[in-house]
A and B are shown apart, each in its own frame.
Chain A
Amino acid sequence: MASSTASSQQLLKTALNATHRASGARMVPFGGWEMPVEYSGIISEHMGVRTRAGLFDVSHMGRVDVIGSQTLSMLQQITCNDVSRLQDGQAQYSALMNEHGGIVDDILVHKVADHHYFLCINAARRDADLAWMRQHTPPGVEVRNLSDETSQIALQGPRALEILQPFTSVDLAQIRYYWFTSGEVSGVPCRIARTGYTGEDGFELYLPVAESERIWKELLSAGSPHETLPCGLGARNTLRLEAGMLLYGHDMDETTTPLESGLGWIAKLGKGSFLGSDVLARQKAEGVPSQLAGFRMLGRPIARDDAPVHHNGQPVGKVTSGSHAPFLKQNIGLARLPATLANPGQKIQIEIRGTMAEAEIVPTPFYKRPKKSAGGEAGT
């Protein structure tokens, strides 16, 4: 056994940091933040979210308002999805682009109203994103960083609506997947979004920092008859991976395009030119050099991030995310490969501690939640 302990100095802390510590969470550094990685255990938290509900502090994410008459044209220029398709109260998964077609960050764009959008961005990319946005801000647009004055709490799982509903007069069932609304939760003005990073139904609450501890505790207490667990980043990672969702800095970055990461569905070339659109158009016509593909291990070992991928005895790529999948009880992952190998059924070999382990390319998502009539399914 070898273990390491990281210094907690210089790490940023969310408003719920002391609450996590007091309830026995194990804290780790993540993207410059000290965050809970697990409370009761990754497997129990993961299974809790799939079958009941779990509560996550995701305040380390960045929250940014973009306001002004030229906001739509600015966002059309720096993101690859079509912002003009959004209606008031609708959210959209997108990517902040660079001029080479690479992904500066993967983000959620929420349309609050004409001339007012709200972005949720990755923790480790806050500074880079804000600098990039400010560099591309035209006169008549204000980029306002709300990250320090707001908290973000995610309640995820099939019981999420039932647990949250008594706290608000908003009819939560009326909020469709990837839509949001403003409303009070336990007397506190919030943005309530039907979004998440787990593959389950659920809500993300954007709320004032000062009220976040009280609301966290109230939600946990209300969830206790449903055995709602506080969850850490460990379960958040295994849940998103099972659901086939990507992690910035692992599965994609500034050197890979959306088309090379299975994100062709958010690259809307028809909307007109935007940063990197020429690169994407060329790739669409000529094909991509590499592609992200899901795999499952055929034997026992677990392929971890950065493990080399081989085919016909040659190194051809690497694992970008690899883990045990607690709900599926399989060892799965995503790998970046030559596009010609990224087809379901393709066998690959993954080098784990000097030994080749067999794996097979499979379609993603690995896990899809059972469909319910309420809530609907994701739009684009």
Chain B
Amino acid sequence: MTYPNHLHYTQEHEWVEVSGSLATVGITDHAQHQLGDIVYVELPRPGTAVESGKVCGTVESVKAVSEIFSPVSGEVRETNAALTEAPETVNQDPHAKGWMIRVQLSGDGLPDGLLSAEQYEKFASEEAG
């Protein structure tokens, strides 16, 4: 799996795609692979304020529970309702159909320290050891 170049990545294994002042957030292929079969995704309601680096949701696989850390600051505009009935979408298509939240970015735009696809791929492969 290659990591799409138009996405930015975090060391906590989220991705973010920016379009104007809207950011779409999900978890990476590496993350879904580490978790295994995903059976439940808990996301913030639209209108909730999220903050870069803070917990904004939870992903549960059969075996494990993992927190989602928001890569950006702003207000949640939309969540991926399809994940309620089909959480396995995150396993099948983590970087597109498995998106989780859309955030209206606050004034600061994207935070510093996000990784490029190339940087993230190197980071994830080193972590996988």
Q: Which positions in A face B, CB cutoff 8 Å?
A: 1-3, 5, 26, 37-38, 41-44, 46, 234, 237-238, 300-302, 304, 323-324, 326, 353
Contact = CB atoms under 8 A, between A and B. Distances in A.
B39 A302 contact: yes
A324 B127 contact: no
A1 B42 contact: no
Contact of B63 (A5, A37, A300): A37
Interface of B: 12-14, 27-28, 31, 34, 36-37, 39-40, 42, 58-63, 65-69, 84, 127-129
Nearest to B60: A302
B40 A324 contact: yes
Contact of A3 (B37, B42, B66): B66
Given A1-B27, A237-B63, A302-B65, 18 more contacts: A1-B14, A1-B31, A1-B59, A1-B69, A2-B12, A42-B37, A42-B62, A43-B39, A43-B62, A300-B40, A301-B40, A301-B42, A302-B39, A302-B60, A324-B39, A324-B60, A324-B62, A353-B42
A206 B37 CA distance: 31
A238 B62 contact: yes
Contacts of A5: 127-129
30 contacts: A1-B12, A1-B27, A1-B66, A1-B67, A1-B69, A2-B67, A5-B127, A5-B128, A41-B36, A42-B61, A42-B62, A43-B37, A43-B39, A43-B62, A44-B37, A234-B36, A237-B63, A238-B62, A301-B40, A301-B42, A302-B39, A302-B40, A302-B65, A304-B65, A323-B62, A323-B63, A324-B40, A324-B62, A326-B37, A326-B62
A-B pairs, 10 with minimum CB distance: A1-B13, A42-B62, A43-B37, A324-B39, A1-B31, A1-B12, A234-B63, A41-B37, A324-B62, A302-B60
Query: Most chain-B Cβ atoms within 10 A of its Cβ — which of A43, A46, A304, A326?
Result: A43
Nearest to B27: A1
A249 to B, nearest CB: 17
A189 B27 CA distance: 49
Contacts of B68: 1
Nearest to B63: A234
Contacts of B12: 1-2
Residue of B12, B63, B69 ringed by the most chain A CB atoms within 10 A? B63
Contacts of A37: 63
Given A1-B13, A2-B66, A353 B37 contact: no
Contacts of B36: 26, 38, 41-42, 234
A291 B33 CA distance: 37
Contacts of A304: 65
A324 B127 CA distance: 27
A201 B12 CA distance: 42
A353 B60 CA distance: 12
A38 B60 CA distance: 16
Contacts of B128: 5
Contacts of B69: 1-2
A301 B84 CA distance: 11
Contacts of A3: 13, 31, 34, 66, 127
Contacts of B28: 1
A124 to B, nearest CB: 18
B64 to A, nearest CB: 9
Contacts of B61: 42
A42 B63 contact: yes
A238 B60 CA distance: 15
Nearest to A238: B62
Contacts of A234: 36, 62-63
Nearest to B65: A304
B42 to A, nearest CB: 7
Contacts of A323: 62-63
A38 B37 CA distance: 10
Contacts of B66: 1-3
A111 to B, nearest CB: 36
Contacts of A38: 36, 63
Contacts of A41: 36-37
A5 B59 CA distance: 18
Contacts of B37: 41-44, 326
Q: Which of A26, A304, A324 has the most CB of B within 10 A?
A: A324
Contacts of A300: 40, 42, 84
A354 to B, nearest CB: 11
Contacts of B27: 1
Contacts of B14: 1
Nearest to B31: A1
Nearest to A43: B37
Contacts of A353: 42, 58
